[in-house]
Structure 1
């Protein structure tokens, strides 16, 4: 049986808005094997982004256990959590989170710099991934000179360059045209199959389900499993 790299057991999460307690996740159980791609769908407010943030150590559980890449996230302190994210995760955020004072090249390299000192060959690696996402020739530009779709592609290259154990993606193709979105998904599938990278993706787009090993639906803080069709070829 393939090892589970992500395992959530009885995870609950709530937020306080004023004095009112709002429950977001209700006893989530989830197991994702190393090298699989999982898609989590759901309406806005269903809890899917909160679930992604818990897997990524960006949010904490109120009850239950969250174990990712062998790390019990519910027990890590701030310093341990920061190191865990740098060494194990690649993030592709819906709103890019690029550093405005850094060039495209520097933004991509910042993904590696959080893990280790940069090497001379890293610039060529960054250029490789920028080419893969269609941004060759843009490496010296700054984020404010790019369109929203181009900024998203920089964020994707920044995540891919780390060759992380787990990539967490929040609407990774949301601001891309259809052709570029397909290229990005094929890149993620290639990482998944060749390097056993685990991909967890939150999306509203049902078309992305065809790339996944497992599809889940978040409804009012509860997780349901979907039956899948044949996978899209790499």
Structure 2
């Protein structure tokens, strides 16, 4: 049996609360297979974004083990976590965080800048990924000229250009209307299958779990397997 890409064991996370602390993630055990799509649903404040941030090395747990591939995140220092995020993880957020003074293609290329100097070959790769997300004809436009759904597709191309092991998406359709949101989700699924990348999406939208490989519910810091 293949080793899971992600393996969590006994993960706990506390945040300060009043005179003490509150338990945000309560003993999370989770395995996620390579080249799969996982959806984690939950209301605001349930802990799902905290979990995603820990998977991406943006935050640390207080107890337990976090492994992504061969990286043991809970034992890595700041510099190692920074390299891990730059080289292995593509992030997609609800608000796509495009740089307004850069063209669409230049925004896609920013996905590579933490890793290496951008080359002429990388420009061709950016165009390839813009073609995959249906935006090649907009490569020289600025983000303000695009719709919200188009901007989110640029963010997907930016996450994919470095061909990461893992894509983490935090409410990637939350700022879009229902039809556009489902098209963005279907594009993520298509890219996951074509590139064999592992995708983890956190969302409050129950519809996004219909075509995922596995769905979980986050409730008050506990993670439960959910029906799809």
Provide the residue aligned with 1:232 in structure 2.
none
Moved more, 39-48 or 168-177: 168-177
Q: Is the 8 A contact 2:10 2:63 kept in 1?
A: yes
Provide the residue aligned with 2:163 in structure 1.
163
Provide the residue aligned with 2:130 in structure 1.
130
Q: Distance in 2 between matches of 1:185 and 1:162?
A: 20
Provide the residue aligned with 2:106 in structure 1.
106
Provide the residue aligned with 2:194 in structure 1.
194
Q: Distance in 2 between matches of 1:15 and 1:145?
A: 40
Moved more, 166-175 or 11-20: 11-20
Equivalenced residue count is 228
1:80 matched to 2:83? The reply is no
1:205 matched to 2:212? The reply is no
User: Which 4+ residue blocks in structure 1 deviate beyond 6 angstroms?
Assistant: none
Q: Give me the TM-score of the superposition, normalised by structure 2.
A: 0.90
Superposed CA deviations along residues 201-221 of structure 1, whole A, max 9, x for unmatched, are 001121111221110000000
Question: Judging changes above 3 Å, is the alpha-carbon distance between structure 1 residues 15 and 48 closer, same or farther for their aligned structure 2 residues?
Answer: same
1:55 matched to 2:46? The reply is no
Which ranges in structure 2 are unaligned for 5 or more consecutive residues?
none
Which ranges in structure 1 are unaligned for 5 or more consecutive residues?
229-234
CA shift at 1:146, angstroms? 4.1
Q: Please tell me the root mean square deviation across aligned C-alpha atoms, in Å.
A: 2.0
Q: Give me the TM-score of the superposition, normalised by structure 1.
A: 0.88
Superposed CA deviations along residues 123-172 of structure 1, whole A, max 9, x for unmatched, are 23222322333433332333344444333222111012222111101112
Moved more, 60-69 or 131-140: 131-140
Q: Is the 8 A contact 2:182 2:208 kept in 1?
A: no
Provide the residue aligned with 1:24 in structure 2.
24
Q: Distance in 1 between matches of 2:21 and 2:127?
A: 47
Three-state SS of the structure 1 residue aligned to 2:136 is coil
Q: Distance in 2 between matches of 1:140 and 1:32?
A: 38
